[in-house]
Amino acid sequence: MRSLSSSFIALALAFSLAQANPLRVKRQGDHNAMQTGEMTFYNTGMTACGVTKSDTELVAAVSQLFFDTYPGATGNPNANPVCGQQATITNPATGKSVTVGIFDRCVSCAFGDIDITPAAFNQIADPNDGR
């Protein structure tokens, strides 16, 4: 897992089921609000959603807390309603954005953090600046 060394990255979770309002204040448990946290990259494979993804795809892992408390989540992560939702991630340092599919959970991420594939990271940041 790699992290962008500039402090925090804003990520707007724009789910197809609910519009994200960028003026809403982030609070733990508010899954549809704009989130702010650390962006890292990782090598994917079999995901928590039960599908295999590759590092060349635009894929994200949200924090385990976000994933496990997403409305409608049960004990079966493969059936989590967050699976396949879209998130738009914006790097405020570059102004670049990328839209990714959420298919995984990140156990070391705090609520609001996101872990993305190298393909997604490379679209909005220099991989040499990340971890």
Tens digit of each residue's pLDDT (9 = 90 or more) over 113-127: 999 999 999 999 888
Q: Closest Cα partner for 55 from 117, 1, 120, 3?
A: 117
Q: Which CATH number fits domain 2-126: 3.40.630.30, 3.30.300.30, 2.40.40.10, 2.120.10.30?
A: 2.40.40.10
What strand order describes the sheet that includes 35-37? 2-3, 39-41, 114-116, 59-63, 97-106, 86-90, 9-12, 35-37
Residue 9, pLDDT > 60, answer no
Q: Which residues make Cβ contacts (< 8 Å) with residue 20, sequence separation at least 6?
A: 12, 13, 14, 32, 33, 34
The residue-averaged pLDDT of 16-42 equals 55
Confidence (pLDDT) at 10: 38
pTM of the shown model: 0.76
Check: CB of residue 61 under 8 Å from CB of residue 109: yes
The model's pLDDT over 74-89, given as tens digits with 9 standing for 90+, comes to 989 999 999 999 989 9
Confidence (pLDDT) at 81: 94
Domain ranges, ordered by start, for the chain: 2-126
